[in-house]
Amino acid sequence: MACNTIKALSYDLCQNNLGGIKNIWLANYKENAATVESEANEVSGFADGVTWYKYPIRKGTASMTSTYNTSTDGASYVSTELSLVFTRMETQKRVAMTSFALAEAMAVVEDSNGKYWFLGKDAPITLTAGGGETGTAKGDRNAYTATFTDESLTFPYEVTASAAEKLPKDDAASSVPSL
């Protein structure tokens, strides 16, 4: 007995498509923080009282990867890893890394196509890997790296344009150092 059916998918094969991430917004996890419209299957709003912090990302230093996982006993979930590089080790970023390690969070990710994705719908995202390195040669990376993991029932939900408009646009307004 099938639990669901395959649905049709149509899209423009000639449409431009870019990889990479432009911006990340993080907030402390709040249960039921995102409103998902059932017909559109998108996040259409966020609960009152959620404070988002914007983390601008340098080009080519962040990625989001989702993997569908299933077991023989019927359990399934999607694991999404959000990998970030915070260039130049310094005190503010060290303090941020420490807070990430202790936090239960949720995130909105703006990709290079101008699409926004929500992580933390079913459970908080957590820091599952991180580190700092000075590099060896002058041209090597000096940075902190952080990997957040989201384990959810489905792939990340797209955030509607109207909900994304409410995220802080000004880096200074979010009180987070430029990373």
Q: Is the dihedral of CA 133, 138, 141, 142 positive or negative?
A: positive
Question: Which of 131, 151, 155, 167 lies closest to 45, judged by CA?
Answer: 167
Helix or strand (DSSP H, E) at 66: strand 62-70
Sign (positive or negative) of CA dihedral 141, 143, 144, 149: negative
Pick the closest to residue 86 from 72, 74, 76, 99 (CA basis). Answer: 99
Q: What is the pTM of this model?
A: 0.86
pLDDT at 3: 67
- Report which of 96, 97, 105 is spatially closest to residue 125, judged by C-alpha positions: 105
pLDDT (tens, 9 = 90+) of the chain, 179 residues, equals 566 777 776 666 777 788 889 999 999 999 888 898 877 899 999 999 899 999 888 899 999 999 999 988 989 999 999 999 999 999 999 998 999 999 999 999 999 999 999 999 999 999 999 999 999 999 999 999 999 999 999 999 999 999 999 999 876 444 444 44
DSSP element (H, E) containing 93 = helix 91-102
- pLDDT score at 150: 97
Residue 131 and residue 145 in contact, taking contact as beta carbons nearer than 8 Å: yes
